[in-house]
Chain A
């Protein structure tokens, strides 16, 4: 069974004068274990698509089935539970709580799961260790580098053992070397079986994925698998093609 099935998804925002269609009929299936990069210029609808996938926004039209459950029309508390149990988010600007320690930031989703403090602490520490930050658990975000902050955010996204990791420009605020380190973590997680959907506008970053979906004016304009070889070269012709299509 596919993890994500979207069918003729349309979404509109009301801005000023009239409706603006951010999505105009997106149909797509993503299987478990896929690593998908969504690319496109700003205003192409890729961020709206991510918000719908993350159950942060409900589409105006069309159907979205996540792990066999139709998400449309669910109560906001049920959506909160889905976000909490099935989805992990990684943002461009990390979105860590500035006054909380790395450990407390990672614990946050478990707080809303009503987990005991001791159990929460253990799970969060284990996850920080997996992203290589066990020795930084007591530091606040201000005391960590950008790459370390993003790794804390990844630990926070993974601590709930989600089915799906959604990353919105995760390397956008990082230098290219740190960005590559973050992508290496994503690659490793994907190899371990995690489904990842990544939004980016950087070709080199998108090249780390297995499949590249290009958006333009609210529609999917290309949906291309990335060859193993091309990816290992880190400089894919496929990718350039896909990106040129968008242009």
Chain B
């Protein structure tokens, strides 16, 4: 009985944590911007000399445009530049990340501006000195004050804050996505990176939003093909870029929760077996204690299957009670774990009912042997037993 209680409680906690973890990962993938593919420069070989990451023919704005135009299933492709710069207001200064983006970036990441104005294609074309702040960056620079319209300097270049971005939270890698300043792509290139003659529209990476999870693999393959052609790579050469799906990174965390789930399900199955054996024990004792009753029932016309059914129902009832008790304890434990460990738990009613039903099935399974023993008793011997 105790085993059944522990087993069912473990199943309920396990499912609550598992479902909670899945929801959290799904939410994180959504917060990264759902359905994203990231293209970054890979290493390439010239002869036998590895040039290291970024040493290959570089990604360009044209690559991003081509991906957006030519590949079916791509909703939008946004080119990106990154730089780490010094931010100055008055006499205070901070280090921070500046990201050069085009308006496509906002739709790819599903990132909204909550205060002020959005970035327009005009801002990029004019190489405007405007900046949008993430919430963390805003708190560092301005505290609780309203930053819109304020002037700041990034590497001594004056910028105007035109808006505030909504909060994104942590990424799957654990860094703060809101600790960022978004500036038009061309502005970043001119002010902080500099242009290269070989690739005047050079970008660091391209973020691609695709339409459909199911075709993610096909879309990634098509992007790889297109970039091979555009970069004139020959067979045998390594890719000069890395195409990755953010959901793959999210799976890493998924595997941790899988380990926890596996552990809990091992505990659950062992306790259910132990509980089942406990029930078998109780039922064997019950059958022995009630031999005379069984004999009487046989004498007044019970068939073997009537006796079998009676004891199976008793075993199942016992296990069912244990299951219901276990489910109650499990729900309480899941809620406790959720509030102590700050882990999202989701209690799925159908899973709880399934666990209780499984407990009853365990009762029937382990109750079968004692019940059969009862049913096979010979009526005279049973009646004679004192």
Contacts and interface: CB of A to CB of B under 8 A. Distances in A.
B299 A156 contact: no
A97 B383 CA distance: 13
A76 B383 contact: no
B299 A89 contact: yes
A204 interface: no
* 6 cross-chain pairs, A with B, having the tightest CB-CB distances, nearest first: A84-B301, A109-B300, A80-B303, A112-B301, A95-B296, A56-B379
B301 A81 contact: yes
Interface in B279-305: 292-293, 295-305
B299 A77 contact: no
Given A95-B292, A97-B296, A80 B383 contact: no
Interface in B42-95: none
A82 to B, nearest CB: 8
B218 interface: no
A76 B303 contact: yes
Interface in A104-131: 108-109, 112-113
B300 A83 contact: yes
A54 interface: yes
A57 B380 contact: yes
A51 interface: yes
B253 interface: no
A112 B300 contact: yes
A89 B301 contact: no
B209 to A, nearest CB: 67
A12 to B, nearest CB: 14
A5 to B, nearest CB: 22
Contacts of B300: 83-84, 89, 108-109, 112, 156, 160
Nearest to A52: B380
B290 to A, nearest CB: 9
Contacts of B295: 95
Given A80-B298, A95-B296, A97-B296, A112 B303 contact: yes
13 contacts: A56-B380, A57-B378, A76-B304, A77-B305, A80-B298, A81-B301, A83-B300, A84-B300, A89-B299, A95-B292, A95-B295, A97-B296, A112-B303
A85 interface: yes
Contacts of A81: 301, 303
Nearest to A88: B300
B296 to A, nearest CB: 5
B234 to A, nearest CB: 83
A35 interface: no
Nearest to B304: A76
B383 A91 contact: yes
A186 B207 CA distance: 98
B110 interface: no
B293 A54 contact: no
A84 B300 CA distance: 5
Nearest to A97: B293
B302 A112 contact: yes
Contacts of B306: 112
B256 to A, nearest CB: 53
A83 B383 CA distance: 15
Given A51-B380, A80-B298, 13 more contacts: A56-B298, A56-B379, A56-B380, A56-B383, A80-B303, A80-B304, A81-B303, A95-B296, A108-B296, A112-B297, A112-B301, A112-B306, A160-B300
Interface in B297-319: 297-306
A195 B267 CA distance: 63
B277 to A, nearest CB: 27
Which of B292, B300, B302, B304 gathers the greatest number of chain A CB atoms within 10 Å?
B300
Contacts of A113: 301
Contacts of A83: 298-301
Contact of B299 (A56, A76, A97): A56
